[in-house]
Amino acid sequence: MMRTLSPARLANALSAQDRKRLMEYGREHNFPQGTRLFEEGSVADRFWIVRSGTVTLDMRVPGRGAAIIERLGPGELVGWSWLLRPYIWHNSAEAETPVRADEFNATAVRTAMNEDPAFGAMIGNWVTSVLAYRLQGTRLRLLDEYALHGGVVLTSRTSGA
């Protein structure tokens, strides 16, 4: 499957000035392979930008365990739930390989966003584009999964989403 430039990659989404400002709130953190970064349903109080390695996003599937929904690499955002109330993770994440990342305190970044509306808009637009990109990717993977397991009837509906 061919991938377009991911908006999750920081360099594709924010200006150099906004990247520099965001990095003021980050600190380097390393995760050994197999480390769980966060669990679905827990408090989303931080996020990461991968420097090296691979992080998998997964979600619980009743009767099947965890299903990988995305693999994230260098420059990509790990976590968006920190931006939206009630600040609870909607999926889980694990270091598939050893990972070096910049870790950000969500409260500090949200405070900076509130204090500087232009900065806040840039970060909010970035995270929203990441969310939309990942939602589309998940939709395509679900369609593939249903196609592999026998016919599914797809109906066309319009919505305001």
Q: Is the pLDDT of residue 30 over 80?
A: yes
Q: Is the pLDDT of residue 5 over 70?
A: no
Res 7: pLDDT: 58
Residue whose token pair is 């420059």: 75
CB 93 within 8 A of CB 70: no
CA distance 92 to 67: 10
**Percent of all residues in the chain with a pLDDT value above 90, rounded to a whole number:** 60
> What's the mean pLDDT in 108-136?
93
Res 157: pLDDT: 46
Distances, alpha carbon 40 to alpha carbons 3, 60, 104, 116, 145, in Å: 26, 8, 19, 30, 22
| pLDDT tens per residue across span 139-158 | 777 777 666 655 554 444 44
> What is the residue-averaged pLDDT of the chain?
85
| pLDDT tens per residue across span 70-114 | 999 998 999 999 999 999 999 999 999 999 999 999 999 999 999
CB 106 within 8 A of CB 59: no
Helices 16-23, 117-148: inter-axial angle, 10-degree rounding: 90
Res 127: pLDDT: 93
**Percent of all residues in the chain with a pLDDT value above 70, rounded to a whole number:** 82
Q: Single out the residue of 64, 53, 4 nearest to residue 31, CA to CA.
A: 53
Using 50, 70 and 90 to split pLDDT, how confident is the model at 159? very low
Strand 65-72, strand 36-38: pairing: unpaired
CA distance 22 to 14: 10
